[in-house]
Amino acid sequence: MANDSTVYAKYIFLDIVKYSTRSVEGQTAIIKALNEIVEQVANEYKIDSDHAIYIPTGDGMCIGLINVINPYDIHLRISMDILNLIEKHNKKESNPTHKFNVRIGINENDDNLVTDINGKRNFAGNGINIAQRIMSCGDENMIIVSSSVKDRLSARDAYLDKFKGYKVTIKHGEKINVYQYIDDSIRYLSTDTPSAILKANKRRKNKMYTKPLSFLFDYISDKLKEKETKTVDLTPKDRLIDKQ
């Protein structure tokens, strides 16, 4: 496949929750387990090396699918299978420090293939960056998708009423819409409201309450200052009475 060519990429960004709090041995075991899970899922979908790039991120990885259009929802299917296998891994893993969960961000975009400094293929474009920022809006066992993914999937019967939307602010103050995949029948998928959304809503409510109060405090402060600086203008009658 030629370098610096434009491809239709589907991104699955995996972030291991609380990875940095683990010991070196714990991190090593978790990365090994995640790699094995991702490899197993890729083999099940018969995804060859020409159609996928796996990018380690230190505390997870990004799976980039290249021009893979069938099945149309392969990025969401892979994400669900990964969550399912992680749950199975955690159930059989006896060492609690080797158990883990991930949060997932999904995006799709027309991006370029480039060759990185190690001579390996990589992506250049906004698609992978947005996938990471979308992922950061979620919590463990959550799948958050972009508008482009939601628009494509929500037109299908299988995904009618399966997405809950939020407006979020990402890097550089950019505001975008993200969507949480919701299915109460899937035990290993979290459908709770993301903590980042709850915190943002709380900040907005606090701002709504404090703004009127700030106006009131400013008004009272101005009135007090006005009273302190006000001078009494004595009329001639007042002056006469004052002299007597």
Confidence check: pLDDT of 140 > 80: yes
Confidence check: pLDDT of 230 > 90: no
Confidence check: pLDDT of 71 > 80: yes
Note the pLDDT of residue 235.
53
Confidence check: pLDDT of 3 > 60: no
Distances (CA, A) of 242 to 230, 231, 239: 20, 17, 5
Q: What is the pLDDT of residues 99-114, one digit of tens each?
A: 999 999 999 999 999 9
pTM higher than 0.85:
no
Confidence check: pLDDT of 156 > 90: yes
> Which band of pLDDT confidence, cut at 50, 70 and 90, is reported for residue 200?
confident
> Which band of pLDDT confidence, cut at 50, 70 and 90, is reported for residue 121?
very high
Confidence check: pLDDT of 219 > 80: no
Mean pLDDT is lowest, of 72-76, 117-121, 235-239, for 235-239
The closest of 130, 93, 1, 95 to 53, measured between CA atoms, is 1
> Which band of pLDDT confidence, cut at 50, 70 and 90, is reported for residue 1?
very low
Distance CA 147, CA 124 (A): 20
Q: Please tell me whether the peptide bond between 71 and the residue prior to it is cis, using omega within 30 degrees of 0.
A: yes
Confidence check: pLDDT of 227 > 80: no
- Averaged pLDDT for residues 46-52: 96
> Which band of pLDDT confidence, cut at 50, 70 and 90, is reported for residue 174?
confident
Confidence check: pLDDT of 158 > 70: yes
**Mean predicted lDDT score pLDDT of the chain:** 88
DSSP code string of 169-196: E-GGG-EEEEEEE--TT-TTS--SPPHH
Confidence check: pLDDT of 4 > 90: no
DSSP code string of 203-239: HHHHHHHHHHHHHHHHHHHHHHHHHHH------HHHH
Confidence check: pLDDT of 233 > 60: no
Ramachandran angles phi, psi of 67, nearest 5°: 55, 40
